[in-house]
Structure 1
Amino acid sequence: MRLILVTNGLGYGGAERIVEALALDLNAAGERVTVVATTRDGPIGDSLRAAGIEVTVLGIKSPADARVPVALARVALARGAQLIHSHLAVSDIATAAAGLALPGVARVSTVHNRGVELDRLKLRLWHKALTRFHRVLPVSEAVQDSLPPGLPMEILRPSLIDPAAARPSRDEARAALRVPRDVPLVLAIGRLAPVKGFDVLARAAKRLKTPRARVVVVGEGPERPRLVQLGGLELVGARSDVDAILPAADVVVCPSRSEGFPQVPLHAMAAGCPVVATPVGGTPEIVVPEQTGLLVPAEDPRALAEALDRLLVDRAAAQALGEGGRRRVAEAGFTRAAMLARTRAVYTAVLAETAGGPLATR
């Protein structure tokens, strides 16, 4: 298959990491893959190029710029693309518009979230654009329920977990974060943006009663200055080796205001770490209360602090939840290989249904 994967940029983010994994695995499976970033390059672009995957950065300041679909259509025509798979709302809008000039090219969208950060006009445009896709892949039931009825939808439930991957020891992971072995550690990972709720975590951190507890946040984003001002958190910047640091955590916390199908709790559970999270979006489809972690109301620093203290103090309960999480990931098949298989099956079905014609190989 000749495929184009489209996203806004190539910095570290949940959707961008899924694009990276799909591109790498599709390329390894013998498909011809081009990744298009509408706005900016980033470390994921470097990773893809190192693997021999073509990366095209349009370099247009706003992904909503009217020049984006024109440039995308040109790339698709030049590469002889059979299918375009877009990620994130504004890339969906651009792909739908580009499709007007590409009648023989199939279109697939992975919908990573409910669009809570979009204004009303963009949300309306996005939902209209999704009607131009041959298949729409919401990442969770919660995301599916937020979309207009009648779309050709299949729930994807993406995952980046490789069960066979080697994991460092707790001591090695703590050394990587420069955290002493005996210090109670709460770990949060994500983009520093309002939707992730790290400001609530900052307020909760100041309420913790566990002696010497530290709350470390891995990630970067526009909220950094505000979070520094709030205090209570150790902001250590973005990292590409998330799985290598998770074993350091006594508890992994996900205090989001909204989510699609969050990857952080999945990875924490796969590493045997108990999770404290908010019941937003697809999170309850992952975290089972009192079996794999604890769920607390969003926007409630007191409840969040109490849940964190509970697991920092009761290590037997924390260990039981961690083991429960590990079992759930294995039993539910939340793996990177399963994501690839489901995605390729969608491509095959869509190309059989559309003018993409018979499948072509490299």
Structure 2
Amino acid sequence: MKLLLVTTSYPESNEGEAAAGFFVKDFADALHAENNEVEVVAPARNSLYTNESGVGVRRFAVPRLPLSLLRPSSPGHWPAVVRTLAGGYRAVEHSCAEQRPHHILALWALPSGAWAARAGRRLNIPYSTWALGSDIWSLGRIPVIRTILGSVLRGASHSFADGFALALDVERLSGRACGFLPSSRFFPCKARNRWRVQEPCRLAYLGRWHPNKGVDILLDSLNMLEKEAWSRIEGIRICGGGPLREAVHEAGARLAGMGRPVEIGGFLNRDQAVELFEWADYVLLPSRIESIPVVFSDAMAAGCPVVAMPVGDLPRLVQEHEVGILSESVTPQGFAVALERALAMSTDRFRGNIAHVARLFDVRSAAVQFMECLKKPSSGK
């Protein structure tokens, strides 16, 4: 089958800045491995067409990256938004006219879904959408955009979401069925041989430094830990980048100046991320808003339990599957208490459960699941 993937994030140069983009690349490769012809349309700094291990990648130039930082509510961003939307429409329609795919998959609902819907209508090509929390819980709050979003979702042959609760929200918005499809990437970790019992603990955070991801909550919670808790910590590595960069570096420097073993690092490529999670005893997920982050499946692949906020699907995954510690509230105080609980217990107790969940979040299995869905009638209620 000929498939076109339309996405707002695909790795170009600094792969560490595009964890979601690397998931899309792995998903495209997995679809290609299932004997499909796959082409990807994605924004980039410059327009370019390349063949990457059998997957065609059509990049179109945009004024700013990443697109996730563009805010339609900000007048100063409107010129970049307009140019990006126009460039996306042109690139998707050109790819469809040239390749004539059998199906288009939009990652994610907006703006990719709008590009897919327009090209699909013009050329009579069915499309599906795969929604993220930012589609529904952020863009879906803006009245005009919510109307566009609902139209895109209703026009899709199949709707997917990367979270269980998110799928229900997509159904409420669209009035149509939505399936859960996990977003994960290939994360080649060695079998874990370190299961902490009493030795000092290693903690890791990897992700965007954005209010939604709660890195500021994490840093505030670290300031609340007592001396006894710090005596159980060997090191904390906070890696990533984003709009809170200055605040993160300042807070990290203050903690380090107090003698706390806190290290601040930048974005990590895949191999570096694997090394970080193989080093860690716990992966930290202090998000304010979340569905199921890719870093959760990374942690499971690395055999590493998590300390997480009670948002999105994390309570269901962390508590029901027992793969870590859940904060009781989305506050620095709540997360500090969760950290203290994690520091007081052995990670060996999570071993079998993590292995089970890791099998559920496999990118190759997700590709097979998607192809099976395409063989079924269009989704609906």
Same fold, TM-score > 0.5, yes or no: yes
Task: Pick from 207, 210, 214 the counterpart of residue 235 of structure 2.
Answer: 214
Moved more, 269-278 or 128-137: 269-278
Task: Pick from 160, 165, 180 the counterpart of residue 155 of structure 1.
Answer: 180
Task: Pick from 90, 97, 103 the counterpart of residue 83 of structure 1.
Answer: 103
Letter in 2 for 1:108: S
User: 1:327, CA displacement in angstroms?
Assistant: 3.5
Task: Pick from 116, 124, 130 the counterpart of residue 153 of structure 2.
Answer: 130
Task: Pick from 329, 334, 337 the counterpart of residue 361 of structure 2.
Answer: 334
The 5-angstrom pairing of residues 181-196 of structure 1 reads 184-196=201-213
Count of aligned pairs between the two proteins: 332
Partner SS for 2:61:
coil
Task: Pick from 19, 26, 29 the counterpart of residue 34 of structure 2.
Answer: 29
Task: Pick from 163, 168, 177 the counterpart of residue 140 of structure 1.
Answer: 163
Partner SS for 2:333:
helix
* Counterpart position of 1:200: 217
* C-alpha distance after superposition, 1:19-67 (max 9, x if no partner): 111111122222111111135479xx99x85424221111133465234
User: 1:123, CA displacement in angstroms?
Assistant: 3.3
Please give the alpha-carbon distance, in whole angstroms, between the structure 2 residues aligned to 1:225 and 1:10. 26
Pair 1:84–1:161, CA change in 2 (3 A)? same
Please say if residues 10 and 20 of structure 2, whose CA atoms lie closer than 8 Å, have aligned partners that are also in contact: no
Partner SS for 2:179:
coil
Partner SS for 1:214:
strand
The 5-angstrom pairing of residues 1-362 of structure 1 reads 1-11=1-11, 12-40=17-45, 49-61=51-63, 62=80, 65-88=85-108, 89-103=110-124, 105-115=125-135, 116-118=137-139, 120=142, 121-147=144-170, 148-160=173-185, 165=188, 167=190, 184-208=201-225, 209-211=229-231, 212-231=233-252, 232=255, 234-239=263-268, 240-241=270-271, 242-288=273-319, 291-314=322-345, 316=346, 318-330=347-359, 333-349=360-376
Structure 1 stretches of 4+ moved >4 Å: 39-42, 168-171
Please say if residues 6 and 40 of structure 2, whose CA atoms lie closer than 8 Å, have aligned partners that are also in contact: yes
> What fraction of aligned residue pairs are identical, expressed as a percent?
24
Please give the alpha-carbon distance, in whole angstroms, between the structure 2 residues aligned to 1:102 and 1:187. 47
Give the TM-score normalised by the residue count of structure 1. Answer: 0.81
Please say if residues 185 and 213 of structure 1, whose CA atoms lie closer than 8 Å, have aligned partners that are also in contact: yes
Please give the alpha-carbon distance, in whole angstroms, between the structure 2 residues aligned to 1:2 and 1:194. 39
Please give the alpha-carbon distance, in whole angstroms, between the structure 1 residues aligned to 2:288 and 2:344. 26
* C-alpha distance after superposition, 1:321-352 (max 9, x if no partner): 3443224434xx332232111011123336xx
User: 1:229, CA displacement in angstroms?
Assistant: 2.6
Q: Which runs of 5+ in 1 are unaligned?
A: 172-181, 355-362
Please give the alpha-carbon distance, in whole angstroms, between the structure 1 residues aligned to 2:305 and 2:365. 24
Pair 1:69–1:235, CA change in 2 (3 A)? same
Pair 1:26–1:236, CA change in 2 (3 A)? same
User: 1:170, CA displacement in angstroms?
Assistant: 6.5
Letter in 2 for 1:218: C
Please give the alpha-carbon distance, in whole angstroms, between the structure 2 residues aligned to 1:253 and 1:167. 20
Please say if residues 187 and 249 of structure 1, whose CA atoms lie closer than 8 Å, have aligned partners that are also in contact: yes
Please say if residues 161 and 334 of structure 1, whose CA atoms lie closer than 8 Å, have aligned partners that are also in contact: no
Letter in 1 for 2:204: L
Partner SS for 2:319:
coil
Please give the alpha-carbon distance, in whole angstroms, between the structure 1 residues aligned to 2:45 and 2:373. 28
User: 1:79, CA displacement in angstroms?
Assistant: 1.2
* C-alpha distance after superposition, 1:145-182 (max 9, x if no partner): 222142242221333367xx5517678xxxxxxxxxx7
RMSD (CA atoms)? 2.9
Please say if residues 310 and 329 of structure 2, whose CA atoms lie closer than 8 Å, have aligned partners that are also in contact: yes
Moved more, 147-156 or 128-137: 147-156
Moved more, 28-37 or 54-63: 54-63
More helix by share: 2
Partner SS for 1:206:
helix
Please give the alpha-carbon distance, in whole angstroms, between the structure 2 residues aligned to 1:142 and 1:256. 16
Give the TM-score normalised by the residue count of structure 2. Answer: 0.78
Pair 1:167–1:132, CA change in 2 (3 A)? same
Letter in 2 for 1:60: V
Please give the alpha-carbon distance, in whole angstroms, between the structure 2 residues aligned to 1:184 and 1:204. 16
